Amino acid sequence: MSSTETALSIFALGGMNEIGKNMYVVQYEDDMVVIDCGNKFPDESLLGIDLIIPDISYLEENKDKVRALIVTHGHEDHIGGIPFFLKKLNVPVYGTRFTLGLIELKLKEHKILRETDLHEINANSKLNFGEMNLEFFKVTHSIPDCLGILFRTPEGNVVHTGDFKFDLTPASNEHSDIHKMAEIGKEGVLLLLSESTNAERPGATPSEQMVGSHVTDAFMKADGKIILSTFASNVSRLQQTIDAAKKTNRKLALLGRSMVNVVEVAMERGYLNIPDGMLIDPKQINDLPPERVAILCTGSQGEQMAALSRLSTGDFRGVDILAGDTVILAAGPIPGNEKAVTKIVDNLYALGANVIYGPGSSSGMHVSGHGYQEDLKLMLTLMKPKYLVPVHGEYRMLHHHRLLAESVGVEEGNTFILKNGDVVDIKDGVANHTRKIPTGNTYVDGIGVGDVGEIVLRDRRQLSEDGMLVVVLTMSKTDKKLISGPDTISRGFVFVKNSEDLIKDVNALIKRTINNLDEAESKEWGVIKKHIKKAVGQYLFNQTKKKPMILPIIIEV
């Protein structure tokens, strides 16, 4: 893009038509500022994949223009991709005190903390990149220290809200700076990027205070141990649990690596207040009477290896859930995780536990960190943008956000519902969406990043659904004739002892196929393998309606 065509461009590399892997870019002339770099977790179709992160090849191609990565807050869907991003583009990273604490944990794990350029910012910070001047404003969310960003550019002001809700009685002192937002709106907002997670939910988001009283009530009524599972990053929920444990004279143990790590960061940086002597080692749980113990653990989303899942199957060494213990799920299931959560709840009931759970605020143990419709309308009313780009949501959420915007005065046609890679260009105060940049998903598989593509995944799907058939042939090097075999080995396709006739027919077919090749074809091992695959594949599909992977192996003698 030449700077004469258009001066200001906005696009997403993740976070559009999906929940997760948020990554947005604001570019003015030759300066790009990246907002957030998250991950998302794979569904069952992505066999063996650990994480999905944004494809940043476009940024790598333009790396001399990328000035900074600004992080709005410390949730995984906003910071989970950062280590992988920094290995490719080592740009300065700006975030609040708590957010940087969580990012540092990741960078230590990836052994790149020492070479990373981290800068602490707060709501009063001001940054300049070329002709873009950045300011910040405080927003309330379900993790401490969250910011929205104001980009002042010669074309006009662009605002990114970050994740937010309006909670007038937050559990901590994390109030939204409504006055500053109103001032920004008064000055004029050309384009607003605003999150859309709860755009379908009417009303206003309930206050975090409500949860505090429910947690305390549950602690008062419980007889045995109390196990409370929540997102480790929800520090106000952790504080509510600590306060309830103090009131009921219970000691507190932490289970799960991320819980231990986040509590450490939160205590060290002054976001959590735990009374002296309250924390105990998990090994001490069984030494105390059950009514004196509370446990904070990870796994509220049903993750297989997390603490709650292992407790529910009796697989957590040294800690057992006994009949009469109370288990509280203080987090709503993220869409797609409901099945895994239900399984854990079933297991817990089978162990005799009292389980307090329920979607959203129905159990009283969780409220969303994302604004409902009234919160989104309030943000739009404060900012009064000319243009809206709804972000952070699946298509229906972005669509509902557009309807909300039109209901509070954003002109019809001035909301852009984009896909990842779609670019909004602004020139002389007029926004157009006419071009697209390449983008997609990068898969993290073990230590491999981006080396598993569609072809490997297709093979994994085929192996998982129809198995494989290995055909071993011994052939003469000189006259290219079959000396022995074929030997056919089945794995995950059919049980050989029960399918002897089928295997015999396959072997006969392979012999016929080789004998029918003309002289030129029979000299090329690659051609022989191709013919075997085709003939055997067609035959097996006709016989079994299955398509196993067929691997011919030729041994030359």
Q: Identify the band that residue 457 occupies on the pLDDT scale cut at 50, 70 and 90.
A: low
Q: What digits encode the pLDDT tens for the residues 67-108?
A: 999 999 999 999 999 999 999 999 999 999 999 999 999 999
Q: What digits encode the pLDDT tens for the residues 394-451?
A: 999 999 999 999 999 999 999 999 999 999 999 999 999 989 998 887 777 655 565 5
159: alpha, beta or left? (left if phi > 0; alpha if psi -120 to 50): beta
The listed range with the strongest mean pLDDT (17-26, 361-370, 453-462, 467-476) is: 17-26
- Average pLDDT estimate for 19-33: 95
Mean pLDDT value across the chain:
89
Q: Please name which of 385, 305, 320, 308 lies closest in space to residue 345, comparing C-alpha atoms.
A: 308
Q: How many residues does the chain have?
A: 557
- Which pLDDT belongs to residue 3? 41
Nearest 5°: the CA angle 495, 498, 504 is 95
- Average pLDDT estimate for 2-15: 79
Q: List the single range of 132-141, 266-275, 483-492 with lowest mean pLDDT.
A: 483-492
- Which pLDDT belongs to residue 4? 45
Q: What is the DSSP letter of 239?
A: H
How many C-beta atoms lie closer than 10 Å to residue 85's C-beta?
A: 22
- Average pLDDT estimate for 159-177: 91
Helix/strand/coil (H/E/C) assignment for every residue in 435-480: EECCCCEEEEECCEECCCCHHHHHHHHHHHHHCEEEEEEEECCCCC
Question: Per the structure block, which two tokens stand in for 282?
Answer: 């998990």
Q: Please name which of 375, 377, 457, 367 lies closest in space to residue 409, comparing C-alpha atoms.
A: 377
- Which pLDDT belongs to residue 471? 84
pLDDT over 80 at 522, yes or no:
no
- Which pLDDT belongs to residue 65? 96
Q: List the single range of 1-10, 120-129, 444-453 with lowest mean pLDDT.
A: 444-453
| The pTM of the whole model exceeds 0.95 | no
pLDDT over 50 at 9, yes or no:
yes
- Which pLDDT belongs to residue 448? 56
pLDDT over 90 at 465, yes or no:
no
- Which pLDDT belongs to residue 510? 82
CA distance 283 to 227: 15
pLDDT over 50 at 538, yes or no:
yes
How many C-beta atoms lie closer than 10 Å to residue 497's C-beta?
A: 7
**C-alpha dist (Å) from residue 334 to 414, 422, 538:** 30, 26, 43
Higher pLDDT, 209 or 308: 308
High-pLDDT (> 70) share of the chain, %: 91
CA distance 124 to 215: 34
Provide the strand spans (E) within 58-163.
Answer: 66-70, 93-95, 118-120, 126-129, 132-139, 146-153, 156-160
pLDDT over 70 at 32, yes or no:
yes
Specify whether the CB–CB gap between 131 and 28 falls below 8 A: yes
How many C-beta atoms lie closer than 10 Å to residue 467's C-beta?
A: 16
- Average pLDDT estimate for 468-476: 82
Q: What digits encode the pLDDT tens for the residues 302-354?
A: 888 899 999 999 988 889 999 999 999 998 887 778 888 999 999 999 999 99
